[in-house]
Amino acid sequence: MVKSPTEKKVREPLFHIVKRDAIPWWKAWLIRIAAVLIALVVVAVITLVMTGQDPIEMYKAMFDGAVGNSTRTWNLLQDTALLLIVGLAVTPAFKMRFWNIGAQGQILVGCLATTFCMRTFTGKVPTAVLFILMIAFALIAGAVWALIPGIFKAYLNTNETLFTLMMNYIALNLVAFFCFRWSKNSGNDVIGIINRSSKTGWMPDIAGNKFLLNIIIVAVITVAAFVYLKYSKHGYEISVVGESENTARYIGINVKHVIIRTVLISGALCGLAGFLLVSGVHHTLTTDVEGGRGFTAIIVSWMAHFNPFYMILTSFLIVFLEKGAIQVASAKNLQLDDNFSDIVVGIIILFIIGCEFFINYRIKFKSKDKAEEARE
């Protein structure tokens, strides 16, 4: 009747995992830096084993590739800014626990709207008005693209992760369609640089620097996003809704209203990123104008714990690695394909994602545990 335990001696689990109370910020950053360093070593080993290339040379080439000359440095800064703005865009929604992974689509429709304005209104309206139209259309397009899943989330609790994901591919095919419709030589899907000679609707150079304006705009938005999230009533409501919908209802926040307002902001910022990409960088529309930023930005935002200022750091890190790794491919003394960058960035990101565990949890080993007890 009584099942007798089969074990002869008592076995104790080797360790068990407990949640940490809190960890000093410097310890958390030490863990993160350690993770990046380990990842770099892993990448070096993989490089050596897989390609036979000298990893030290590779890292040198990477560093050189990222900041080797002033054009590269400016490119690095601009791309950081462009990734950062998308990161900022998805953050309010994430803080609200609305998993907007549709930034890609929202950026693309922003690009589409900007291109539409450039093609349609150039020469018909003054340049200043053109810019206003471009920005307005981009903001609205991005906002609408986010609003659709937002409304269904608010009213029917439709899964927003899956919904926004689907919206990406609708946007992508929509852009592909217009690339075809607007292409110069019918059928090759290439629109070509818009207003190549007049540069109408192009973001103007500042002090002779074509990157600066983009960077300034994003810098301003970064500060604004920080203030909005931390010091505004809206930002406060976002935090409350994200933490506990019950509390939000208890204090009389209209949860649906906040969800819709926040996804509108999130989408509009993505649309603005689309505007910057077309008007400030590419001056044309292609299906890969967005460059995977929609997804990378999610990682940027999450790694920075939704803090806009930390996001500067995380987006810089990722762009630095990407840029460097791409340049590695063209380095003469190394023979690596430029897709190697995705692998390098991927490994480092996976390590950073993994290291959060050691910040949030503590592994208690049995023997050490007892020692601690004795001390106490």
Partner 1 sequence: MSFILDKIIYVLANAINNGMPILFGSTGEIITEKAGHLNLGIPGVMAVGGISGVVTAFFYQQSASKNTFLMILLPLLATLLGSLVMGLIYCFLTVTLRANQNVTGLALTTFGIGIGNFFGASIIKLSHSELTSVRIDETSKVFKATLPFASKLGFIGELLFSYRFLVYAGIIIALVCAYVLKRTRVGLHLRAVGENPATADAAGINVNKYKYVSTCVGSMIAGLGGFYYCIDKNGWSNDNIGPFGWLAIALVIFAIWRPNLAIFGSILFGLLLNLYDLIPALELNIKFPHGYDKLFKMVPYIVTIVVLIITSARKKRENQPPASLGLSYFREDR
Partner 2 sequence: MEKAPAIELKNITKTFGRIVANHNVNLKVNRGEIMAILGENGSGKTTLMNMISGIYFPDSGHIFIDGKEVVIASPKDSYKYGIGMIHQHFKLVDVLSAAENIVLGLHGKYNIKEASREVARIASLYGFEIDPAKKIYEMSVSEKQTVEIIKVLYRGADILILDEPTAVLTPQETAKLFAVLRRMKEDGKAIVIITHKLHEVLSISDRVAVLRKGEYICTLETKDATEASLTEAMVGKKVALDIDRADPVDPEDRLIVKDLDCINREGAKVLDDVSFTARSGEILGIAGIAGSGQRELLEAIAGLQHVESGEITYKDPKTGKAENLRDKTPMQIRQLGVRLSFVPEDRLGMGLVGSMDIIDNMMLRSYRKGKSAFLQRKEPRDLANEIIKSLEVVTPSATTPVRRLSGGNVQKVLVGREIAATPTVLMAAYPVRGLDINSSYMIYNLLNQQKERGVAVIFVGEDLDVLIDLCDRILVIGSGHVTGVVDARTTTKEEIGLLMTKSVAHGEGGELNG
To the nearest whole angstrom, how small is the minimum distance from the Cβ of residue 168 to partner 1? 8
192 binds, options partner 1, partner 2, none, Cβ within 5 to 8 A by partner type: none
247 binds, options partner 1, partner 2, none, Cβ within 5 to 8 A by partner type: partner 2
Q: Which is nearer to partner 1, 161 or 195 (CB)?
A: 161
To the nearest whole angstrom, how small is the minimum distance from the Cβ of residue 361 to partner 1? 7
Q: Count CB neighbours of 369 within 10 A.
A: 14
Binding site for partner 1 (CB under 8 A): 17-19, 51, 99, 101, 152, 156-159, 161-163, 165-170, 173-174, 176-177, 180-181, 186-187, 292, 295-296, 298-299, 302, 335, 337-343, 345-347, 349-350, 353-354, 356-357, 360-361
320 binds, options partner 2, partner 1, none, Cβ within 5 to 8 A by partner type: none
Task: Note the Cα 346 to chain centre separation in Å.
Answer: 14
Residues for the chain: how many in total?
Answer: 376
Give yes or no for a contact between 297 and 89, defined as CB atoms under 8 angstroms apart. Answer: yes
Binding site for partner 2 (CB under 8 A): 1-5, 7, 10-13, 16, 19, 21-22, 227, 231-236, 239-240, 243-244, 246-247, 249-254, 369-370, 373
To the nearest whole angstrom, how small is the minimum distance from the Cβ of residue 352 to partner 1? 9
As a whole number of angstroms, the distance between CA 296 and CA 293 comes to: 5
Give yes or no for a contact between 280 and 203, defined as CB atoms under 8 angstroms apart. Answer: yes
Query: 3-state DSSP call for residue 206?
Result: strand
From the list 49, 48, 70, 50, the residue with the least C-alpha distance to 59 is 48
Distance in angstroms between the alpha carbons of the first and the last residue of the chain: 43
To the nearest whole angstrom, how small is the minimum distance from the Cβ of residue 350 to partner 1? 6
- Is 252 buried (19+), middle (13-18) or exposed (0-12) by CB count in 10 A? exposed
337 binds, options partner 2, partner 1, none, Cβ within 5 to 8 A by partner type: partner 1
